[in-house]
Chains A and B, each alone.
Chain A
């Protein structure tokens, strides 16, 4: 942040904690800088905000807003970790589990998966409220270095934005509408796209679940050394505050 920007900064509160922001920052950006974690799935550093998953929903000025897209405002009182919001977020995450086929025990993303980690953080002990949709989606392993298991896709769109905005490609896109909307490749299958394993869209950090698979590297990281073996999702943001 430049000196000028600092001068234009203002403060607001998240769950009573005073947070400094500057003009143009979203609630989530300001919260991240201040070491306050707001749960999110579709938002990712370096990608444009989408406000799609709604897991980052906070209360600001009495309204429910997506923290990843809502600009911070001076003097605003934002509610983040309230029992009500935690329940709403847990319901959203639970529905994502019910919409796909998320078999954590055999998934190579287990331990690095943001959906799984979010469920742990939100204390989703067992998914019981909603019926499993159990979609039947074929694994696309046609590409020599990449596979796509859309059974695990949560339609966050991070791969779409990374491919378009960072890689300058259009490997992924949405198809369908409403409940039928899903991520698909722009081609008959992955082998018919210009996807490369070195693309940002294919990198480990972009897909939050185990949908985009870099071939022949699964389970290389031992249990205990995976991302969320180290702490709850968001711990790296919260550690800034404790520092």
Chain B
């Protein structure tokens, strides 16, 4: 019988932002506890107070360097409400949608090819030096090239709609500040067929991986949970930009449905735990033990009644067929769901590019001022809630943000523990490859731990072993 051990993975790599995992092994080398800790404090909810309402969409997008468009648009939707605008001009809404689809596409492509593909292609236990995008490029150059060019396409869509690829200024309260020129439209139409073909190939890759590794996936972070997302008003279709809230149980039964998102606080509540800066939201009526839920691509596949673009809808049906129409509870099925959404985005982008409303000149609507606004969007990583109050001087007095990764906090922690128990328990020696299994589970959620960009090459994976008294007995570090 050995001594209890604490294993720390810090930081978790190939995710956005900084976090760490602690795994407590008892004297029998069984996993007692495993947790994902978010060790950064961002403070946006506090320091946005006092700023002017039209600045908010530009300021809060700095939360993130990967999906700033999500924060930009969620905040803009909240400011629309405060500006008294319930219906945007068609050009404004469609330009925002175009921006959003471009963003979801580039973010999903980034995650699948750059962050997750090394695990999927080379194996979870492959040498760390091999698990990176450069090895993907070396071994599968065509796949790597497509990854780069698909992401570029999405980024250029963002640039055309927001002025910059990262941290632009497109959405303003009540509308948008630009339309799409004919030249820009024609530029994107030249390559849209290629993007669709590549998105289909990527979808097939993710689907085949999931189906070919059915046994692994069934035991790897697979557990029942509730799921929540926006769905389109009336018909419950997948809608990444706007709609009402729907939550379903693991058996597919409705918890709430078509709930207008400004009422989110009537159904959701956030719990706080001392060991993490990230809150733990849950569905009020179910309580903290049973009310936690997951969001993100797979959650959206589980909540959406259908998808309103033909190719993605067919793919959605294929995914649903695996579980007989019930929600899919497999953490790793997120990759398949993510690629369905890439295809959906490409189809949506094509539809929008062919819509003359994008060349319209009615860009901003006016309304009667309100003092409170909620904006909700389906960000690449899942549901994103922005809630603000503004005083008579146009200054923000209250801000509450529930980001996708926060919604998924409990789910990620359960996935960490599930994988740690199955792959680390009872092992005398914990290898780097075993620890990567834990990271693979976290990565499947594509968490944005700080909503910020960091230099990948400077993020060391550090594992420390402590004795029962908490004394450090061994430390191994390696740069990813």
Nearest residue, chain A, Cβ from B53:
A216
Nearest residue, chain A, Cβ from B363:
A220
Within 8 Å CB of A185, what residues of B? Answer: none
Is the CB–CB distance between A147 and B52 below 8 Å? yes
Within 8 Å CB of B57, what residues of A? Answer: 219
CB contacts under 8 Å to A, within B367-385, are: none
Is the CB–CB distance between A106 and B59 below 8 Å? yes
The interface bits of chain A over 79-119 (1 if a CB of B lies within 8 angstroms of the residue's CB, else 0) are 00000000000000000000000000110100000000000
Within 8 Å CB of B163, what residues of A? Answer: 222-224
In the complex, identify which listed stretch (B141-149, B168-176, B310-318, B321-329) lies at the interface while the others stay far away.
B168-176
Q: Is B29 an interface residue (CB 8 A)?
A: no
Is the CB–CB distance between A222 and B178 below 8 Å? yes
Is the CB–CB distance between A215 and B52 below 8 Å? yes
Within 8 Å CB of B393, what residues of A? Answer: 141-142, 147
Expressed in whole angstroms, the minimum distance between the Cβ of A105 and any Cβ of chain B is 6
Is the CB–CB distance between A218 and B54 below 8 Å? yes
CB contacts under 8 Å to A, within B53-102, are: 54-55, 57-59, 62
Nearest residue, chain B, Cβ from A223:
B163
Expressed in whole angstroms, the minimum distance between the Cβ of B198 and any Cβ of chain A is 29
Report, as a range, how many residues of chain A touch the other chain. Answer: 10 to 19
Is the CB–CB distance between B55 and A139 below 8 Å? no
Bound-state CA distance A147–B394 (Å) is 10
Expressed in whole angstroms, the minimum distance between the Cβ of B365 and any Cβ of chain A is 13
Q: Is A213 an interface residue (CB 8 A)?
A: yes
Within 8 Å CB of A213, what residues of B? Answer: 52
Picked from A139, A215, A219, A224, the residue with its CB within 8 Å of the CB of B58 is A219
Expressed in whole angstroms, the minimum distance between the Cβ of B336 and any Cβ of chain A is 36
CB contacts under 8 Å to B, within A203-225, are: 213, 215-224
Picked from B50, B54, B164, B394, the residue with its CB within 8 Å of the CB of A219 is B54
Bound-state CA distance A220–B58 (Å) is 12
Within 8 Å CB of A147, what residues of B? Answer: 52, 393-394
The interface bits of chain B over 160-195 (1 if a CB of A lies within 8 angstroms of the residue's CB, else 0) are 001110011110110001100000000000000000
Expressed in whole angstroms, the minimum distance between the Cβ of B366 and any Cβ of chain A is 10
Is the CB–CB distance between B50 and A139 below 8 Å? yes
Picked from B62, B168, B394, the residue with its CB within 8 Å of the CB of A223 is B168
Bound-state CA distance A218–B55 (Å) is 7
Expressed in whole angstroms, the minimum distance between the Cβ of B274 and any Cβ of chain A is 31
Picked from A138, A142, A215, A222, the residue with its CB within 8 Å of the CB of B170 is A222
Bound-state CA distance A11–B393 (Å) is 54
Bound-state CA distance A219–B56 (Å) is 11
Nearest residue, chain B, Cβ from A224:
B163
Q: Is B204 an interface residue (CB 8 A)?
A: no
Within 8 Å CB of B62, what residues of A? Answer: 105-106
CB contacts under 8 Å to B, within A144-170, are: 147
Q: Is B454 an interface residue (CB 8 A)?
A: no
The interface bits of chain B over 423-456 (1 if a CB of A lies within 8 angstroms of the residue's CB, else 0) are 0000000000000000000000000000000000
Bound-state CA distance A156–B223 (Å) is 63
Is the CB–CB distance between B177 and A220 below 8 Å? yes
Picked from A138, A139, A222, the residue with its CB within 8 Å of the CB of B52 is A139
Expressed in whole angstroms, the minimum distance between the Cβ of A83 and any Cβ of chain B is 33
Is the CB–CB distance between B52 and A218 below 8 Å? yes
Picked from A105, A220, A224, the residue with its CB within 8 Å of the CB of B167 is A105
Bound-state CA distance A115–B364 (Å) is 30
Bound-state CA distance A85–B23 (Å) is 61
Q: Which of B50, B54, B59 has the most CB of A within 10 A?
A: B54
Bound-state CA distance A141–B392 (Å) is 9
Nearest residue, chain A, Cβ from B60:
A106
Known contacts A105-B167, A106-B62, A142-B393; decide if A219 and B177 are in contact (CB<8 Å): yes
Is the CB–CB distance between B167 and A108 below 8 Å? no
Expressed in whole angstroms, the minimum distance between the Cβ of B353 and any Cβ of chain A is 19
Binding site for A on B (CB under 8 A): 50-52, 54-55, 57-59, 62, 162-164, 167-170, 172-173, 177-178, 364, 393-395
Can you report 22 A-B residue pairs in the complex whose CB atoms are below 8 A from each other? A105-B62, A106-B58, A106-B59, A106-B62, A108-B54, A108-B55, A141-B52, A141-B393, A147-B394, A213-B52, A216-B173, A216-B394, A218-B55, A218-B58, A218-B172, A219-B55, A219-B58, A220-B364, A221-B177, A223-B164, A223-B168, A224-B163
Q: Given A141-B393, A216-B394, A222-B169, 7 other A-B contacts at CB below 8 A?
A: A105-B167, A138-B50, A139-B395, A219-B58, A220-B172, A220-B364, A222-B170
